[in-house]
């Protein structure tokens, strides 16, 4: 498979259902794991920092239709949100699918025996992919490579 391979499926009505999905070989996905690991750790830290604002953000949102409500440290919160979105954008730009923040669970779409499957990896696993599953089976359907 070529490094920049992509998949596109169409419905029976001709509508695109998977637009330009990046497909990875096992080697390509393994080569990205150090970058993905680092980015997942950054995302987990960012998400943890944002969690400190959860209640204040909820209260501000509840009061928004009444002229708003602020958040103490609102500029920092906005910066954290912006950084978090940028980090998510980096992962998305790689073509990696984040499935679970807490576990650092990600999938790499791949072609196996003529069909799109997902190469599966999470933060507490090694430096190479060891698992895959069909698109509709999820983590419970993981099978050794």
77-97 tens-digit pLDDT: 889 999 999 999 999 999 999
Measured CA angle at 106 (ends 102, 108), to 5 deg? 175
**Model-level pTM?**
0.78
100-139 tens-digit pLDDT: 999 999 999 999 999 999 999 999 999 999 999 999 998 8
The domains of the chain are located at 6-144
With a CB cutoff of 8 Å and minimum separation 6, the contacts of 1 are 23, 24, 25, 28, 110, 111
E strands within the chain? Answer: 6-10, 16-22, 97-100, 105-112, 115-122, 131-134, 143-144
Closest CA to 105 of 117, 97, 94: 97
Under 8 Å between Cβ of 111 and 23 = yes
**Average model confidence (pLDDT) for the chain?**
85
Distance, in Å, from the CA atom of 42 to the CA atom of 87, rounded to the nearest integer, reads 8
């Amino acid at each position: 498979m070529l490094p920049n391979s992509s998949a596109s499926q169409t419905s029976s009505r001709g509508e695109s259902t998977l637009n330009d999905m990046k497909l990875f070989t096992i080697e390509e996905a393994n080569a990205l794991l150090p970058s993905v690991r680092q980015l997942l750790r950054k995302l987990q830290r960012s998400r943890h920092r944002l969690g400190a604002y959860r209640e204040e953000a909820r209260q501000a949102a509840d009061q928004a239709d009444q002229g708003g409500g602020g958040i103490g440290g609102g500029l920092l919160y906005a910066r954290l949100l912006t950084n978090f979105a940028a980090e998510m954008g980096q992962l998305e730009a790689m073509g990696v699918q984040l499935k679970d923040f807490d576990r650092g669970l990600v999938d790499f779409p791949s072609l196996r025996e003529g069909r799109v499957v997902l190469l599966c990896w999470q933060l507490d696993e090694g430096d190479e992919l060891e698992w895959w599953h069909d698109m509709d089976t999820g983590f419970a359907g993981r099978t050794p490579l």
